[in-house]
């Protein structure tokens, strides 16, 4: 029983990171119908800024602020330079554009920073562990769970209580009507990218805290996971992305824990099969939006 509870805690922590990432993808997708595969490079950027800030001996809180601000800025620039010119183009065009942005950034990281991983020496205090009865919870894991909860609560407040947030929700329903109401499309889209950059920055820092280094290709795998999570949850649905993230984390941890030894190398295949099974019963994802996307 203890072991099960421990694994549940593990699943919560992993799922939380997936949820943050999937949410970042979903925020942008819900507005302009783009799956931004360069989301991972936003995470990588957060990692590099953190590494350089710590190497420059900046105070830890300032390093965190810079590391989260950088991907926000990069996301907005990305939108302005790469995605605005193709806004409204077919899904394929958008997807390929995001692949191109991602590939260009990775090659730039490899050739102008370093192909080798750059260490990110996190304070030793973060390596500690909290014991709750028989359960162990790493400090990074707990921060990860707490941050996810905080980000989700903050985003919910933003979307429900502010004009910009309402405009974003409305834009997700029907962009054309929002523009007819006199809201500037560019502003709404830029806000969506800024939020996705913020989510990527936070998730990137949590990711880097676990691994202790940042390398140019770091962003690919988490975005793949986030993509899967967003699909299970129902593309374009924000709550769905969160649910999908937690479900994927739960499936992965539980399979790793309870699959027979001989099956373990196939864990990811089994996990993906379960995802396909979910989609067979709910082709639109768990919490798909009822409206059809207009863009």
List of residues contacting other proteins (CB under 8 A): 3, 6-7, 10, 13-14, 103-104, 106-107, 110-111, 115-117, 119-121, 124, 127-129, 136, 138-141, 207, 210-213, 215-218, 221, 252-254, 256-257, 261, 264-265, 267-268
Residue placing its CB nearer to other proteins in the complex, 268 or 291? 268
**Which C-beta is closer to other proteins: that of 104 or that of 153?**
104
CB of 21 or CB of 287, closer to other proteins: 21
Nearer CB in complex with other proteins: 183/202: 202
Looking at the Cβ atoms of 103 and 153, the one nearer to other proteins is 103
d(CA 119, CA 125): 17
Question: Smallest distance, Å, CB 9 to other proteins?
Answer: 8
Say if CB 271 and CB 11 are below 8 A apart.
no
Residue with tokens 């739960």: 250
- For residues 89-107, b (16+ Cβ closer than 10 Å) or e, as one string? eeeeebeebbeebbeebbe
What's the rounded Cα separation, in Å, for the pair 68 and 204?
Answer: 9
Answer yes or no: are the C-beta atoms of 6 and 135 closer than 8 Å.
yes
**CA 64 to CA 122: how far, in whole Å?**
11
Is residue 49 classed as helix, strand or coil in its secondary structure? helix
- Give the shortest CB-191-to-other proteins separation in angstroms: 31
Q: Could you tell me the smallest distance in angstroms from the CB atom of residue 213 to other proteins?
A: 4
Report the C-alpha gap between 221 and 231 in whole angstroms. Answer: 15
Q: Which is nearer to other proteins, 142 or 239 (CB)?
A: 142
Least distance to other proteins from the beta carbon of 28, Å? 23
Indicate if the alpha-carbon torsion angle 218, 34, 198, 79 is positive or negative.
positive
| Residues forming beta bridges with residue 135, ordered by sequence position | 132
135 backbone dihedrals φ, ψ, rounded to 5°: -90, 145
CB of 113 to other proteins, least distance (A): 12
CB of 146 to other proteins, least distance (A): 16
């Amino acid at each position: 029983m203890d072991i099960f509870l421990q694994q549940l805690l593990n699943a919560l922590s992993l799922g939380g990171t997936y949820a943050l990432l999937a949410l970042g993808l979903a925020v942008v997708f819900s507005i302009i119908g783009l799956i931004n595969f360069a989301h991972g490079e936003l995470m990588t950027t957060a990692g590099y800024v953190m590494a350089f800030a710590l190497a420059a001996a900046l105070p830890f809180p300032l390093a965190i602020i810079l590391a989260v601000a950088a991907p926000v800025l990069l996301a907005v620039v990305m939108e302005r330079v790469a995605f605005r010119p193709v806004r409204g183009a077919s899904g394929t065009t958008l997807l390929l554009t995001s692949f191109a942005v991602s590939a260009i950034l990775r090659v730039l990281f490899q050739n102008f920073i370093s192909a080798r991983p750059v260490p990110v020496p996190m304070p030793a205090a973060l390596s500690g562990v909290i014991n709750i009865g028989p359960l162990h919870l790493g400090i990074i894991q707990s921060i990860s769970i707490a941050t996810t909860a905080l980000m989700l609560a903050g985003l919910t407040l933003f979307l429900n209580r502010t004009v910009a947030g309402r405009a974003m929700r409305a834009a997700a329903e029907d962009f054309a009507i929002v523009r007819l109401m006199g809201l500037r499309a560019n502003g709404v889209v830029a806000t969506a990218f800024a939020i996705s950059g913020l989510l990527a920055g936070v998730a990137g820092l949590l990711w880097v805290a676990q691994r202790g280094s940042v390398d140019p290709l770091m962003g690919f795998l988490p975005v793949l996971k986030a993509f899967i999570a967003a699909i299970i949850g129902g593309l374009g649905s924000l709550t769905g992305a969160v649910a999908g993230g937690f479900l994927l984390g739960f499936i992965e941890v539980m399979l790793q824990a309870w699959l027979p030894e001989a099956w373990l190398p196939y864990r990811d295949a089994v996990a993906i099969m379960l995802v396909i099974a979910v989609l067979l019963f709910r082709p639109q994802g768990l919490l798909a939006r009822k409206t059809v996307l207009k863009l």
